[in-house]
Amino acid sequence: MKITYNWLKEFLDGSDNYSPQDIAYKLTMSGTEVKKLEYVGEKYKDIVIAQIISFVKHPNADKLSICKVNTGKEILNIVCGAKNFKVNDIVALALEGAKIGDFIIKKSKIRGEFSEGMMCSEKELGLSPESDGILILEGDYILGESFAGQTGLDDWVFEIEVTPNRPDCLSVVGIAREISAVTELNLRYPEYENYNNAAADDKFKIEIKDFKLCPRYSAKIFSNISKSKTPFWIRNRLAICDIRSIDLVVDLTNYVMLEVGQPLHAFDVDLLATNKIIIRPALANESILAIDGTTRMLDENTIVIADEKGPVAIAGIMGGKNTEINDNTKNVFLESANFNGPSIMKTSKKIGLRSEASNRFEKKIDPHLTITAIKRFEELLKHITGQKFDNGIYDNYLEVNRERLINLRYNKIKQTLGIDIKDKVVSQILEKLGIKNKINEDYISALVPSFRFEDLEREIDLIEEIARIYGFENIAACELESKFRQGKYTYNQKTIEDIRLALVNSGFNEVINYSFIGLKEFKFFRLDEENEFKNYIKIFNPLNEDFEILRTLLLQSLIDDMKNNIVKKINDLKIFEISKIFLKNDLDKNGLPIEITKLAVLISGRSNLKSWNSNERFFDFYDLKGILEYLFEKFKSKNGLFISNNEYKFFHPAISGNINFDDEAIGIIGKIHPRLTNILDIKQDVFYFELNLDRFIKKSKKEKKFNSIPQFPSISIDLAIVIDDDTTSKDIEDEIYRNGGKTLRNLRLFDFYKGKQIEEGKKSLAYSLEFGADDRTLKDVEVEIISKRIIENLSKKFGAKLRQ
Amino acid sequence: MEEKINSLKNELDEVFLSFIKDKNEVKSLFDLDLLESKYLGKKSFIAQTLKNINDFPQQIKPLVGKTVNETRKKIEDDIKLLRDDFTKVEYDKKLREEKFDLTLPGRTLTYGSKNIISQVIEEIQEIFIGLGYEIAEGPEVETDYYNFEALNHPPDHPARSLHDTFFISENILLRTHTSPVQIRYMEKHKLPVYIIAPGKVYRKDYDVTHTPMFTQIEGLAVDKNINFGNLKWTLETLAHSVFGKDRKVRFRPHYFPFTEPSAEVDVSCNICGGDGCRVCSGTGWLEILGAGMVDPNLYKFVNYDPETVNGFAFGMGVERIAMLKYGIDDLRLFFENDIRFLKQF
């Protein structure tokens, strides 16, 4: 919300002078944050009031005139392109050095004629989006004085953030009240003493169908309004506050709304079908052509203002086109009403229309404002037109008690804030906020006024008021002792942190992606055909189609990251992500999905660049598997890990499997299907695994225990065998371990061969076996017996032959 | 027998003294060879004594061996050192001829990087673990009850419009803040409660200064005798620890539905030093988090006694903290995962 310094000063009395900066600071530190403070007059430096005394046509240009302009001190020669002026017109003259937009005025020759400045249009002055010719000022102005000073633009604008609990602050008066609470200034509330309070005649009928939807509806008819323009200073104030000038009546409704906080709406009385206004829920299938030219469909949740023919306005949001104020309007029906906040909020959300008015109604404004606003409107209109409007005000109001008594205990203040304040100090703060109160021994009884009825309900609400006006900076920081507590990570958190660190230390970069992907992408990876991943959660109101569903697999995001990097010519990637995936779960009592923390690891490109001492090498599947083994070894033991074949649609059919931990499948591993990389325009192999970290951590949890270090040396032997290609390395290793017994300390595959030197359909594996015992040095003959047994069994079960 | 040993010791001392004297006279490697042969050679006293060790009585033989060997070791070491003195210049000269380029690059070990978001979370967690807090977690897909209702946002509450929410169904949504963890944790635990809850949150907002997903860290301390002064101390400690002791910290009153009083916390701008600049929009201050005393209403949802229990809560955006701390000027960088960005942290 924007309001100006001079406007605020109209409602504040006091001898002390507070600069705009002082005010901004005091407001900010008492909870009404001033986001920005700007001097409006800055833009109008070196622009003065001047009068045209004569002009002639430019000798060299048909469309230009040469004017003599009086600045009060001198007569200047000005070349001008506009046509809308005559002799004696008062204008805004930009002198040398003035800045119009990005353009600095200089004395110059235009088509051979000397020009010493520029007469400005409203558009050039930033006062209106469009303008026709230069600005001609009407009224009394002093020649030579600064333009800003003479037109209400020598002012400061505050950009204020009003929190949603303070609808009373959505106005100049409201902010002035806040200022009065934190300064020595007093609020000067307008009284309109000369107002004729007579009731209106019954020519017009107002009917409220449901006081819940509309607690109060006040209105007044202003007849035969004489045609007048909105005074320039009012238009300027509105412009500073980002409100466009329309015509006098509409401008005044906006002006009063900003000043008092009560939205107003003006209808052309003569365009209303009947002399009856009904405030009611819309009927199903009813519609209205709104002021913005769009036809809006209504439903029974929308409150409308209707005459007996149909809706003439969507209550609190927008008026109807057919009863809009126009050039021919003479008689105005001014509505000043109070509508149900939640209902306005729903409607405004539903039709996607938020306005200054709806914003105020949503937050529940004080129904007492309706009459004040009408009086203020009338005062301004009277002042501008010189007319009198003596008929009374229509007022439909089901009055409810809007005062509340709250007891505020001093010990509760101390308990919450840690400060010991009571009696007068507390009483004065409340007084300044407009809350009447009475001091008692242990507490103060406070009477909350109507304008704070919505947000001051409980003792704690008053404590907050005390705190913010007393000043947070006056409450001392106080150490919170922690000697009896011990902070810590859970085992899960610690392990995830360790896994992250292990990967980072081995050269991986951690990525974080959005939790959502597009359904198109989902189908593209054929996840809808995979039982494990197909049960996705759909977002009911997604941002766009790229963010439609929650991830059931992290793969797509990492592929995206990879593509983004490849575009930037970064082709060699080692990345990982630790994030949750979401699966539909109808069984959970809240209907919440299953959330599983996953670790996704992707490698692609080169593992080694060609260097003076090493060769280029590309990542392969076994690099990826190595990472997995590294993690298993760090957190449990490599022996628990087993990869089994299992085809996933997004993996290469032969290089696709499950990661098993003991006997449980807890992840997937493979090479991205060449069909996918082709379509995605990725020209390199991509390897990927994804691990269920929740399960991995649960299964790997173990007590750390000391094992004594072997005292006796090992004996190593090598064993090279030839077997059928179909037999897996895992089969062979399992068999070796089975026969090796306790003495087999370690097993390492040091050679793998397939090719011409052996029979087709066979492969050769060469292992290094390390034997040892805990209680003695093994004898060679013992090892020979064991290795013989191993060879016999390998031969028997797998047809293995020793390779010579 | 003791006499025999003593006499042997005397003889050895004399040998060693003589050795030292002779050693000082050595001028060349040739002299050194002579010296070695004189004191350690076959005919030397030491060699002869060891050779004839059987002449000593059986009981003292080990002691004789030990005594002689001690002297022999001393002489040997001195000779080694002296020999090195004579040869090292020549040796170095030879080695120096093997030219070696120390400036060639080493074998590459590539370093990885922990995501900056993870790093900031970790930094803040460590601070609070030091203050005796535990780390709590909660689901990212939440019920309306935990995300709004139990946090004092009844269905028609205007503050709901501050959160543009992604819905799954009428009552299920992507959490818009980490605050639901407060309720979930208090439901399951008795006093005292001191927790930090980091995590992803979601709001339907996507422009230069908003991403539809971002990261928050929530803090909650509920106990007996906790007041606003304690909140100030805790967050000042945090701000000083994250941004530096020289930064000023201020608390501004604000509004959140689930705290009362509520505050926003600013640190002084490090770019302009508080004078006002573009980064701090001329205010001299940078907002870092929101906080407040837990609204007593919340205690009713978790069966705590609002009359005797007090607490505070706070929440901050991790990306924002990171931007301010490291001078990152574009929010979108966090989720683009450009390796050149990731590697900087």
Q: Which CATH number fits the domain that encloses residue B185? A: 3.30.930.10
> Among the residues of B131-179, which ranges form H helices?
144-147
Asked if A460 and A416 count as a contact pair (C-beta separation under 8 A), the reply is: yes
Query: What's the whole-number average pLDDT of chain B?
Result: 92
Q: What is the mean pLDDT of residues A328-351?
A: 92
CB contact under 8 A, A516 and B212: yes
Identity of the residue in B206, B226, B229 whose CB atom sits nearest the CB atom of A543: B206
Separation between Cα atoms, residue A660 and residue A648, nearest integer Å: 15
Label residue A196 by pLDDT band (50, 70, 90).
low
> What is the pLDDT confidence band of residue B323, given thresholds at 50, 70 and 90?
very high
- Please state, in angstroms and rounded to a whole number, the distance separating the CA atoms of residues A24 and A158: 7
Q: With CB atoms and an 8 Å threshold, state whether A490 touches B135.
A: yes
Comparing CA positions, the residue from B11, B12, B4 lying closest to residue B74 is B12
- Is A468 in contact with B171 (Cβ distance < 8 A)? no
Kindly report the number of other CB atoms within 10 A of residue B26's CB atom.
18
B-facing residues of A in 27-46 (CB < 8 A) are 28-31, 33, 35-37
Mean pLDDT of A105-116: 87
Give A517-537 pLDDT, tens digit per residue.
999 988 889 998 888 899 999
The pLDDT of residue B292 is 97
Does A503 sit within 8 Å of B112, measured CB to CB?
yes
Residue A750 has pLDDT above 70, yes or no: yes
Mutation for B interface: A26, A32, A36, A472, most B CBs within 10 A: A472
Report residue A9's pLDDT band, with 50, 70 and 90 as the boundaries: very high
- Provide the H-helix boundaries in A261-407: 341-351, 356-362, 369-385
pLDDT over 90 (residue A685) = yes
The whole-number pLDDT of residue A588 equals: 60
**CA B8, B9, B10, B11 torsion: positive or negative?**
positive
Would you call B139 and A595 a contact, using CB atoms and an 8 Å cutoff?
Answer: yes
Please say whether the beta carbons of A295 and A305 come within 8 A.
no
Residue A651 confidence (pLDDT): 96
In chain B, the N- to C-terminal Cα span, in Å, equals: 76
Helical spans, DSSP H, in chain B: 2-25, 29-40, 45-51, 61-96, 116-130, 144-147, 180-188, 228-243, 296-301, 318-326, 333-336, 339-342
Query: Which two three-digit tokens encode residue A352?
Result: 């996607």
Whether B271 is covered by a domain: the verdict is yes
- The pLDDT value recorded for residue A181 is 94
> Which chain B positions have a beta carbon within 8 Å of A540's beta carbon?
166-169
In A730-761, DSSP assigns E strands to 744-753
Instruction: Report the mean per-residue pLDDT for chain A.
Output: 91
A593 prior amide bond cis, ω within 30: no
Task: Collect contacts of B60-67 with beta carbons under 8 A, ≥24 apart.
Answer: B60/B1, B60/B4, B60/B5, B63/B5, B64/B5, B64/B8, B67/B5, B67/B8, B67/B9, B67/B12
pLDDT tier at A19, thresholds 50, 70, 90: very high
**pLDDT tens sequence across A436-450:** 999 999 999 999 999
Residue B156 has pLDDT above 80, yes or no: no
Q: Which residues of A touch B169 (CB under 8 A)?
A: 540, 591
Q: Where do the structural domains in chain A lie, given as residue ranges?
A: 2-32+162-187, 42-150, 205-397, 404-474, 491-700, 715-802
How many angstroms separate the most distant Cα atoms in chain B? 112
B218 with B79, same domain: the answer is no
Q: B69 falls in which pLDDT band (50, 70, 90)?
A: very high
The answer, for A538 touching chain B at a CB cutoff of 8 Å, is yes
Within this chain, do residues B138 and B52 fall inside the same structural domain, yes or no? Answer: no
Q: Yes or no: is domain A205-397 CATH 2.40.37.10?
A: no
Domain A491-700, classified CATH 3.30.930.10, yes or no: yes
CATH class of A404-474: alpha beta
Whether B114 sits inside 8 A of A478 (CB atoms) is no
Tell me the shortest Cα–Cα distance from B121 to chain A, in angstroms.
11
Q: Which phi and psi angles does A741 have, rounded to 5°?
A: 60, -155
The residue among B23 and A16 whose pLDDT is bigger is B23
Residues of B in contact with A475 (CB under 8 A): 228-229, 232
Q: Evaluate if residue A589 carries a pLDDT over 70.
A: no
The answer to whether residue A417 neighbours chain B at the CB level (below 8 Å) is yes
Which residue of B101, B114, B314 is the best one to mutate when testing the A interface, meaning the one whose CB has the most A CBs within 10 A? B114
Contact (CB<8Å) B261/A514: no
The 10s digit of each residue's pLDDT in B199-247 is 999 999 898 889 999 999 999 999 998 999 999 999 999 999 999 999 9
Measured between beta carbons, which residues in chain A are less than 8 angstroms from residue B213? Answer: 514-516
Residue A553 in tokens: 């697999």
Question: Does residue A733 have a pLDDT over 80?
Answer: yes
pLDDT > 90 fraction of chain A, expressed in percent and rounded: 68
B162, B236: one domain: yes
Q: Name A775's bridge partners.
A: none
Assess whether pLDDT exceeds 70 at residue A751. Answer: yes
Q: How far apart are the C-alpha atoms of A338 and A344, rounded to whole Å? A: 11
pLDDT in tens, A383-399: 999 998 888 899 999 88
Q: Which residue has the higher pLDDT, A491 or B263?
A: B263
A476 touches chain B (CB under 8 A): yes
The mean per-residue pLDDT over the stretch A259-286 comes to 93
Contact B337 A512 (CB under 8 A): yes
> What's residue B104's pLDDT?
92
Shared domain for B218 and B262, answered yes or no, is yes
- pLDDT, position A412: 95
Per-residue pLDDT tens for A131-145? 888 999 988 899 999
- Beta-strand (E) ranges in A442-508? 443-448
Over residues A776-796, the pLDDT tens digits come to 888 989 899 999 999 999 999
d(CA A701, CA A685): 34
- A396 to chain B nearest CA, in Å? 25
Q: Which fold has domain A42-150?
A: OB fold (Dihydrolipoamide Acetyltransferase, E2P) (2.40.50)
Q: Domain A715-802 is classified in which CATH homologous superfamily?
A: Ferrodoxin-fold anticodon-binding domain (3.30.70.380)
pLDDT at A323 over 70: yes
Question: What tokens were used for A614?
Answer: 């090493």
> Which residue type does A587 have?
L
Residue A590 gets which letter from DSSP? Answer: T
Q: What are the C-alpha distances in Å from A230 to residues A4, A40, A206?
A: 19, 20, 30
A599 in reach of chain B (CB within 8 A): no
Q: How confident is the model at residue A701 (pLDDT cuts 50, 70, 90)?
A: confident
Q: Are residues B120 and B258 in the same domain?
A: yes
Q: Do B271 and B178 sit in the same domain of this protein? A: yes
Position B283 confidence tier, pLDDT thresholds 50, 70, 90: confident
pLDDT at B209: 87
Examine the domain organization and report whether B210 and B325 are in the same domain. yes
Contacts of A340 in chain B (CB under 8 A): none
DSSP-derived secondary structure letter, A537: -
Lowest mean pLDDT among A685-694, A729-738, B278-287: B278-287
**Would the pLDDT of B132 be above 80?**
yes
Domain extent at residue B35: 2-96
Vertex A176 angle, CA A172 and A179, to 5°: 145
pLDDT band of A576, cuts 50, 70, 90? very high
Say if residue B305 is in the same domain as residue B268. Answer: yes
Strand, coil or helix: what is A643?
strand
Model pLDDT, residue A587: 60
Contact with chain B for residue A679, Cβ under 8 A: no
Question: Band of the pLDDT at A160, cuts 50, 70, 90?
Answer: very high
Report CB contact under 8 Å: A417, B229: yes
* CB contact (8 A) between residue B253 and residue A472: yes
At A227-244, the pLDDT tens digits run 888 999 999 999 999 999
Task: Report which of residues B279 and A464 the model is more confident about.
Answer: A464
The Cα-based distances of A195 to A218, A379, A462, B314 in angstroms read 16, 9, 35, 51
The reported pLDDT for the residue numbered A590 is 63
Let me know if residue B40 belongs to a domain: yes
User: What is the structure's pLDDT at A531?
Assistant: 87
Sign, CA dihedral A169-A173-A177-A179, equals positive
CB proximity list for A328: less than 8 A, separation 6 or greater: none
Q: Is the pLDDT of residue B162 over 70?
A: no
In a domain, B110, yes or no: no
| Residue A456, pLDDT score | 95
Percentage of chain B beyond pLDDT 70 is: 99
Whether B253 and B156 share a structural domain: yes
Q: Residue A349's pLDDT band (boundaries 50, 70, 90)?
A: confident
How far is A567 from B60, CA to CA, in rounded Å? 86
Using CB atoms, which residue from B108, B132, B257 is nearest to A611? B108
Going from the C-alpha of A20 to that of each of A17, A36, A149, B216, B274, the distances in angstroms are 10, 11, 17, 35, 18
Same domain, B152 and B212: yes
Of B96, B129, B155, which one is at a domain's C-terminal end?
A: B96
Are B109 and A30 an interchain contact pair (Cβ–Cβ within 8 Å)? no
Q: Using the beta-carbon criterion (under 8 Å), do B261 and A463 form an inter-chain contact?
A: yes
The reply to whether B109 falls in a domain is no
pLDDT digits (tens, 9 = 90+) for A626-642: 999 999 988 876 678 88
Average pLDDT over residues A478-503: 90
Reported confidence tier of residue B266, pLDDT bands at 50, 70, 90: very high
A290: three-class secondary structure by DSSP: strand
For residue B163, is pLDDT > 70? Answer: no
Average pLDDT over every residue of B53-70: 89
Cβ contact B337–A582 (<8 Å): no
Determine the Cα–Cα distance for residues A389 and B298; give it in Å rounded to an integer: 53
Around Cβ B118, how many Cβ atoms within 10 Å? 22
Render pLDDT for B237-250 as a digit per residue (tens, 0 to 9): 999 999 999 999 99
- Which residues of chain B lie closer than 8 angstroms to A476, CB-CB? 229, 232
Determine, yes or no, domain membership for B181.
yes
The count of domains in chain B is 2
Quote the CA–CA distance of A125 and A94 in Å, as a whole number. 10
B260 vs A460: CB contact, 8 Å cut-off? yes
pLDDT of amino acid A707? 80
Yes or no, beta carbons of A419 and B310 under 8 Å apart: no
If asked whether residues B275 and B330 sit together in one domain, one would say yes
Task: Give me the sign of the Cα torsion angle A109, A113, A117, A119.
Answer: negative
User: Looking at residues B127-141, what average pLDDT do you find?
Assistant: 95
pLDDT digits (tens, 9 = 90+) for A408-427: 999 999 999 999 998 899 99
Contacts A–B by Cβ distance under 8 A: 253
The whole-angstrom separation of Cα A524 and Cα A84 is 65
Distance of CA A445 to the CA centre of its chain: 40
Q: Which two tokens stand for residue B44?
A: 């030397």
